[in-house]
Structure formats: structure tokens, C-alpha cells
Amino acid sequence: MRDSRVGARRQCGSPGWQNSPMPRPIEALIHVDALAANLAVARRAAGGARVWAVVKADAYGHDIGHAYAGLKGADGFALLDVAEAVRIRALGWRGPILLLEGCFDPRDLDACARLHLWHTVHHAAQIDWLAAHKTERPHRVFLKLNSGMNRLGFSPQAFRAAWLRLDALVQVEQIILMTHLASAEARDLDSSDAAVALFERATAELPGERSVCNSAATLRFGTRLAASASDWVRPGIMVYGSSPDHPLHSAFDWGLVPAMTLKSELIAVQDVPQGASIGYGATFTAERDMRIGVVACGYADGYPRVAPGGIDRGTPVLVDGVRTRTVGRVSMDMISVDLGPVPDARVGSEAVLWGRAANGALLPIDEIAAAAGTVGYELMCARAQRVRLRSVGMEALDAMTRTLPAQVGSGPGPGAASADEPA
């Protein structure tokens, strides 16, 4: 692969070259087998609850079109808005879809009816819109309690009245009770226990299914909640192979595998003498003679500019599957790396910024996020448009689907009979 690229570059003088220029070597691989395997981890942790795969923000930057093959074993897709729902329907999904923030405008209710979307109700105005809506078909709604995050949802005092209003509407067919935990990833689970207790008090004696858990809650207490508060779980970040409570637990601790690899190549190698500096601002000075590789990846590709570069404090990277570190500042299109641990590296060598190397070595996105002072969520979502995507792992996914227990992959996928089947 590497050699053929270099070979192709060498042929630039041939007549056909201008019609087929080689793309810049950076790309993001979407591992559909990893998505399916991580979804299976969520299902096992959910203790029998049904599983929404959360695919907002274009499947956390993985692109819904690429992620769909790996996630279609879910019982439903939870996402942000009608535009994302349209894309999932266009991919052939006929099962449940949930709008996590509900309708942004009364006109969204038409789309909900047409596309059979379940939607969250977190604010009185959304009940007014439903009451005024001339709907062809009754709606399924997730009524949201504010259990302490103070972002979306009815207060515990207002929750019952909101339920009674919804229950009285002919426009509403089913009310599912939900909340979203503010700190399920925290070391101390006391605040989550308090939020769940609040949810249980606010929903006591109200009929209907319940939904509480995101990834962190599903992994950490999904089974415990299954009996009382969990008919549906809503895992997002874990299905993409990032640990929701890193650094408390790593992705490996939870049995999660990276679903995205951001990979590129070395486009230059520099021999840098002791005392010379590297990159903008000369923030890194070589303490010894060094071989430095220049990777075709920068902040304009979505790599965090704030990721530190230094021998002791550098951000991890895999060159030809060998772990090394970034040196100096991240620039718009390039990053420099120490080739000390990889003496054979040369122009064209593989550089994995996160994910899986060709030799099987793994670099969890959480490590890069931690170095940059952020979370895996942000890095995934920040993948730039100019980084092209490629699905891999279809064969492994096919083999996995054949060997998985019946429950996994048995969600109402394309073609499955479902009460939500759009006309």
C-alpha cells in the first residue's frame, strides 16, 4: 500500500496523472465490526433493556451512512433532529427513531407523524404544539425529567402535571418516562444514586416504560437499574469505542474497541541536531540528535491543536504500529513526531493518530483526548470534512452476525415488521 502510493507519486509525469491525482494520505477508517461488537457490550450491560444506539452529531462524527451497517442491530436510533432521522430512514431503517431534544418547532410534528419518529417532550411549549397539532397518527413521546443537570426537562414538581396533560391528548399514544444523568461517569456515584431516586419518586405511580441510562450508566449500573428504571438504555460514546468514564476505566477495561481510526502517513523525515527547535513558536528543543517524522495531519483535519508535543509530555501516536509521541506544536496540516522508537520509519510510513494500526496495535482516542484536556466525544465530532471516510470490517461483521447470540442483532432492522413501520 505504502509502496504503491510512493510508486504512484513517482509516475506523476505520465500522461494520465492529471486525471487521477493521489489524495493526501489522511483518512478515517470506520470499523463496522467494532461498532457491532461495542453495541453487543451495551446490550449485555443493559440487563435485558432495549437499546437505542445514539447517533446524533452524524454518529459522533462516524457518518451515519458508514456507521449504519455496524449499528443496525440496535432496537432503535436516538438522534438530534429531523434531518438525521430522514437520513436513517433513507438507509432503510424501519424501526424506532427518537428525537432526543424533541421538536424544535411545531412544524417538526408533521415530520414526526410522517416518518414515525418518537420525540422527547422536555418543555411546556412542546405540549402546547402537540395539543394544537392536527396529527394523522398519535405520537409516542419521551417525557423528560430534570433530575439535576438543569439543562432539559420538567422539574420534579411539574412532572406529574406534564404527564397528565400529555395523557389527556388524543395526539399522544404512549408516554415513556425518561431522565438524563449529569454525572454517571463520576468516580463517586452518590449524585447518580440521588438522581435515580428523584426519578423514581417523580415517576412513582405513573404507568409507562422508563429510560435513564447513557453509556456510563449502562456500563456502571445498567443491570442494577434494569428492574426499576430501565426499559430502554441510550448508549452513545461506548458504541464508538471510547470509555465514558476514562480515566477511571479505559476502553479495554470495558471490552470496547475503537470504531474510528484516524490514520495518515509520514510525508517528510528530518534529522534534527541537538539544540535545534521544531515547529511554530519553537516550543520544542531537541535535547539530543533526533529523527523527526512529519505526519500529514493537522488541526484543520480535526486533530486538537492543544495536544502537547514533547518527549515527556507529547501526545501518543503510532508510527508503523510503534508507539511514539508528538513533538512541537500541531500546525494546520502537519504534526511532527519523534522517530526514536521507530528507526526504520521513512516517508510513506503509516501514522495512526488514534485507532488501530495495520499491525494490530491500538491507540484509544481517550488517550489523545486526555492529553489535549478534552474527551473522546469532541475529537470524534471534530473530524474535518476534508478527511475522507472508508468503512472497513464488513467481513468480520458478517462473521460476527452469524455467530452472535440471537438477541444481538435482532432489533427491528430494515424489513423487520414493526408497529413503527412507515407507510
Q: Which residues of this chain interact with ligand PLP, rule CB under 6 A?
A: 54, 100, 180, 214-215, 234-237, 244
**Helix (H/G/I), strand (E/B), else coil: 370:** helix
> From the CB of 22, what's the least distance to ligand PLP, in Å?
36
CA distance 367 to 250: 9
Spell out a b/e string for 263-285, using b for 16 or more CB atoms within 10 Å of the CB, else e. Answer: bbbbbeeeebeeeeebbeeeebe
Q: Which is nearer to ligand PLP, 71 or 286 (CB)?
A: 71
Catalytic residue among 56, 72, 144, 263: 56
Output helix, strand, coil percentages for the chain, rounded to the nearest 5: 35, 20, 45
Does 263 qualify as catalytic in the annotation? Answer: no
> From the CB of 188, what's the least distance to ligand PLP, in Å?
18
Q: Which is nearer to ligand PLP, 57 or 358 (CB)?
A: 57
Q: What is the SS3 string spanning 221-248?
A: HHHHHHHHHCCEECCCHHHHCCCCCCCC
Q: E strand or H helix at 43, and its extent? A: helix 32-45
Q: Which is nearer to ligand PLP, 163 or 240 (CB)?
A: 240
Q: Which is nearer to ligand PLP, 37 or 54 (CB)?
A: 54
> From the CB of 253, what's the least distance to ligand PLP, in Å?
16
CA distance 242 to 219: 12
Q: Cell 510510513 maps to which residue?
A: 349
> From the CB of 392, what's the least distance to ligand PLP, in Å?
23
CA distance 47 to 389: 34
Determine the residue with CB nearest ligand PLP.
236
Q: Which is nearer to ligand PLP, 141 or 286 (CB)?
A: 141
> From the CB of 229, what's the least distance to ligand PLP, in Å?
14
> From the CB of 419, what's the least distance to ligand PLP, in Å?
23
Catalytic residue among 60, 68, 280, 299: 280
Which grid cell sits at 147? 433530575
> What string of DSSP letters covers 148-200?
SS-SSSB-HHHHHHHHHHHHT-TTEEEEEEEE--S-TTSS--HHHHHHHHHHH
CA distance 222 to 287: 50
Q: Which is nearer to ligand PLP, 121 or 339 (CB)?
A: 121
CA distance 175 to 105: 20
Q: Which is nearer to ligand PLP, 250 or 285 (CB)?
A: 250
> From the CB of 219, what's the least distance to ligand PLP, in Å?
9
Q: 76-79 and 50-54: which strand pairing? A: parallel
Q: Cell 471490552 maps to which residue?
A: 255
Does 72 qualify as catalytic in the annotation? Answer: no
Catalytic residues: 56, 280
